Chains A and B, each alone.
Chain A
Amino acid sequence: MVRYAIRRLLAGFLLLFAMTILTFALFRLIPLPSGCLVVPCGPGTTTGDAEIAAAEHELGTDRPVVVQYGKFVWGIARHGTFGSSWIHGNIDPLIRQAIPKTLSVLVGGAIFLLLLAVPLGVISATRAQQPIDRAILAFSVIGIALHPFLVGLLLTRAFSGYVHLTPFGGYCHLISAGKPAELAPGTPPPPPGAGPCAGVLPWAHHMILPWLTFALFFLPLYTRMIRARVLETLDASHVAAARAKGASEFRVLRSHVLRPALLPIVTMVGMDLGGALMASMYIETMYGLGGFGSIMLSTIAGGGANFGFDLPLIAALFFVIAVAVIVLNLVVDLLYGWLDPRVRLV
């Protein structure tokens, strides 16, 4: 088990290096001088070559790409910092403030998703081919065909616009940091006297719509997956044996059906990080939360007239996500080996 984990971690390190090298190498292919991100250039501007060269020198892009890559890796390994980006300033605080927001969306959303999907899937499976199963099936097919963005818009409209139950957007810190909540552009400022919003309740209040949106993103797929797994397990002989022993239907479901049926869900939750991050990109944009998704979008939206292509920031993003992927995959595999004694990790 330990050897397995070490081998996986080593493979992960290799992938990490490959990913960052690829990022740096690919961006050397882009024909735009990086100085143009800092000083205006191109037709119609008066910037001279010397100024562009000076800007590039300041960014460090006049040196060979190997040196730049070395500096990036050294910064992480020696100082634990991503250094400074080209247009967005220091990367570390940017990423540090984004992590709790994105984690709130992902973890809360995943819990919400399982809370909705497991009961629905079980109801659907235990009453297979009955009207309620048909209804859940129909809803999930429609849910698959509805664009998630539109679902989110509908939710915001319904809960914030008409019922006024939830705020339009913005994020509240779970633990008070003395900082005011960041508001989405376009949302009205909070009423005077409200103060900086922080704490468990305001946090949950602000997050409930994003969580619901996240859950609805994946709900149809997971409901159907759980339904299929439960149906399969209900036919297994150990379930018949449990029933024959006189176990109550609830006990059969809880201990004999759900445990084996939900095992692959663990893998799915772990594997779906890419999809989950994509969903959180939408959700953060939609609700103005300002997490990783917003940073990703801002990597292309800065720098005035130029396209804000920002190599250190993008490399840092790739690095953080890659680490998360490697760790999560490992945790899921180890967890799986622990949950299911039939699986042997070698």
Chain B
Amino acid sequence: MNVLRRTLLGRTRAPAGVDGNLRAGDGREPGTADDTMLPKARGQWELVWSRFKRDKVALVCGIFIGLVLIACFGGEPLAAHLLGHGPNDLFPMSVDADKNLLPAGPWSHVPNIHGVATVTPEMPRTLFVLGADGTLGRDLFLRVLDGGRTSLELAFAATFLALVLGSILGLASGYYGGWADASVSRLTEFIMGFPILLFLIVFGWTVSNRLDQITLHSALAPGVLSLVVIIGVFYSFYPARLVRSQVLSLKQQEFVEAARMIGSSDIRIMRKHLFPHVSGSLIVYGTQLLALTIFLEAALAILGVGIEPGYASWGSIIATHYGTLFGDTGASAHYIDARVAHAAWLIALWPSALLFLTVLSLTLFGEGVRNAFDPQAVRT
């Protein structure tokens, strides 16, 4: 038996080595047919990982996303602790009143007026790594990290909600068909015709603002939560369509029939036999949705209906200097001083660049995951 196993292993290894020299993403998976002959079959996730590893671009993008997450969620509190001030603390002395309110530049030590009785030249100073964020004199470095946290929190929570709701809706409508399917499909088509911004404006922003304004029940609706719920519910229709169309073809296959024959319940069939098949495309869609939500938050902020003012997010930092990224059009036309306009340009550049890189990484990462899950698919 051992001899047999060794010969089998030896035989399967040789072509694997040859295949290893092929270009990544060639479309052929080395030794898939032989895998069944191996003593231990490799699981779906193991195969996906082995294919994903070969896509170096996607790997680098994944690492970058991880770094951004670490920097925003872990690095921000750490940096705030080390620097000794928070992202929302005001440092009026970091803005030069003599130069048309020019904010402090990168790596400047600004006077720390907190806990100081009188303003003297020898007063303690605190470090602004990227300078001040504008006329209010807050630490841009911390605000970019803190804003990233808000943007990413929103993106991940809304995406998670959308995927969960969407897979439930899609599984149910695809599996049961008939009346449930028809109503979900019609509703999906209908809802997808509406711009989500309208929903966000009408149901989210107005409602939560009114609640805050009138009842001051801050526990009820901090801006992010209502955005998460609305975005999550709205975008759940897209994965629902995706899951539904896949389930429609999957449920005709023998393994579902077999599972039903041995008496599996509908719930079990959906959970154990259908869901694993759609999980790949859900993950891919999830990365797209993450990117979309990050964009949406920025767009909301730019249109002036985003998260509550005062909180930082990438969108809100860009929006404060709206129009400054490519010069002095739009709201920033009031910058009389070229140097101030230039400073504003730099301030908007940081969150914009992070936004761009994060979304770029998410897109390429999603591409890599798609190819890893479905190597035969036409690469788009």
Contact = CB atoms under 8 A, between A and B. Distances in A.
A147 B356 contact: yes
Contacts of A156: 329
Contacts of B333: 186
Interface residues of A, number: 57
Interface stretch (B43-51, B203-211, B272-280): B203-211
B201 A296 contact: yes
B24 to A, nearest CB: 13
Given A150-B352, A299-B202, A31 B194 contact: no
A52 B301 CA distance: 33
A333 to B, nearest CB: 9
A301 B201 CA distance: 10
Interface string A142-163: 1011111110011011000100
Interface string B32-63: 00000000000000000000000000000000
- Where chain B touches its partner, the secondary structure class is helix
Nearest to B352: A150
B189 A31 contact: no
A285 B190 contact: no
A274 B196 contact: yes
A307 B210 contact: yes
A11 B183 CA distance: 9
B116 interface: no
A30 interface: yes
Interface in A273-315: 273-275, 277-278, 281-282, 285, 296-297, 299-301, 307, 309, 314
A281 B196 CA distance: 11
A32 interface: yes
A73 interface: no
Interface string B272-302: 0000000000000000000100010011001
Contacts of A299: 201-202
Contacts of B378: 228, 231-232
Nearest to B314: A147
B322 to A, nearest CB: 9
A15 interface: yes
A120 interface: no
A300 B305 contact: yes
Given A141-B360, A144-B363, A321-B198, A153 B299 contact: no
Given A147-B352, A154-B326, A31 B215 contact: yes
A325 interface: yes
A149 B359 contact: no
A282 B303 CA distance: 8
Interface string B295-328: 1001100111100000000000000000101110
Nearest to A278: B195
A145 B359 contact: yes
A329 B193 contact: yes
Contacts of A142: 360
A252 to B, nearest CB: 19
Given A157-B326, A228-B380, A321-B198, A141 B210 contact: no
A257 interface: no
Contacts of A23: 202
Interface in A310-338: 314, 317-318, 321-322, 324-326, 328-329
A232 B214 CA distance: 57
A1 interface: no
A194 B311 CA distance: 46
Interface in A1-39: 11-12, 15, 19, 23, 26, 29-32
Contacts of B201: 296-297, 299-300
A322 B303 CA distance: 23
A227 B298 CA distance: 30
A324 B193 contact: yes
A141 B363 contact: yes
B72 interface: no
Contacts of A301: 304
- Where chain A touches its partner, the secondary structure class is helix
B95 interface: no
A148 to B, nearest CB: 8
Contacts of A147: 295, 298-299, 352, 355-356, 359
B380 A225 contact: yes
Contacts of B213: 32, 307
Interface in B179-198: 186-187, 189-198
B364 interface: yes
B330 interface: yes
B329 A300 contact: no
B203 to A, nearest CB: 7
Contacts of A31: 210-211, 214-215
A12 B305 CA distance: 31
A212 B304 CA distance: 24
A227 B333 CA distance: 42
Contacts of A144: 291, 359-360, 363
Contacts of B298: 147, 149
Contacts of A309: 206, 210
A275 B213 CA distance: 31
A328 B193 CA distance: 9
A301 B305 CA distance: 10
A263 B309 CA distance: 45
Contacts of B299: 147-149, 282
15 contacts: A15-B190, A19-B190, A32-B210, A148-B299, A150-B352, A153-B330, A274-B191, A278-B195, A285-B303, A297-B303, A301-B304, A307-B210, A321-B195, A325-B193, A325-B194
Interface of A: 11-12, 15, 19, 23, 26, 29-32, 141-142, 144-150, 153-154, 156-157, 161, 186, 224-225, 227-228, 231-232, 271, 273-275, 277-278, 281-282, 285, 296-297, 299-301, 307, 309, 314, 317-318, 321-322, 324-326, 328-329
Given A228-B379, A282-B303, 11 more contacts: A12-B190, A144-B363, A150-B352, A153-B329, A161-B327, A228-B378, A273-B192, A273-B193, A300-B305, A321-B193, A326-B193
Closest 7 CB pairs of A and B: A325-B193, A145-B360, A278-B195, A277-B195, A228-B380, A145-B359, A273-B193
